[in-house]
Homo-oligomer: A and B are copies of this chain.
């Protein structure tokens, strides 16, 4: 079954021999050390999330740009582990980055509607973005259950969540808000920060699907 391997092909002096499970621990040790040398201290409750974002990007800006609502980590962990929420993402990349194994073990369903034909059709007819239409579809389908939104790409998904909240239609159980980009991204994140959502927000321009997945995974692994 595994006869596709080419076998032992030697090694390179420059590459250290680590077991896969040691690499993450060594990475976290390096990140902690560099944060310490930079004089940056991260509150203990947020450390796993912050470290995993830096681990996913090698970008230490995430030590300062992540904004946590009050008790965000403990609330999110409790929701994920005990609340059987639906985790809704705004890209299939983020969806595939979130640990399926951990989701299954906690009875968490994951979904992303961005590539659905009816979403494309609704977007064309309404003039709303596909991301906004995807949010509406998720709320219609899952609105009776706790919904955990993980948004790593589309600012309009965040705008739509805020609009639905302000209209009294729907409030998400938790929002990870980390679209990346240069247009409307900063502003859309501020709309989450000024809403009474339980949330983790990557303030500013930075973020992305990898960061969204890293935050959710850090919470799942807690």
Interface residues of A (CB under 8 A from B): 1-2, 4-7, 9-10, 12, 14-16, 18, 20, 23, 26-27, 30-31, 55-59, 91-97, 118, 121-122, 125-126, 128-130, 133, 136-137, 139-141, 155, 159-160, 162-164, 166-167, 169, 180-185, 187-188, 190-191, 204-210, 213
Given contacts A12-B191, A183-B23, A191-B12, whether A205 and B58 have CB atoms under 8 Å apart is yes
Chain A facing B: main interface SS:
helix
Q: Give the Cβ gap from A179 to chain B, nearest Cβ, in Å.
A: 10
Q: Which 3 residue pairs of A and B lie closest in terms of their CB atoms, listed nearest first?
A: A2-B122, A58-B205, A9-B163
CB of B181 within 8 A of CB of A118, answer: no
Q: What is the count of identical protomers in the complex?
A: 2
B4 with A164: CB separation less than 8 A: no
Which of these, B125, B163, B188, contacts A10 with CB under 8 Å? Answer: B163
The distance in angstroms between the C-alpha atoms of A56 and B57, with both chains bound, is 12
Q: Which chain B residue shows the least CB distance to A160?
A: B9
User: Which residues of the other chain, B, contact A2 by a CB distance below 8 angstroms?
Assistant: 118, 121-122, 125-126, 133
Taking the closest CB of chain B, its distance from the CB of A216, in whole angstroms, is 13
Our pick among B5, B57, B159 for the contact of A15 (Cβ within 8 Å) is: B159
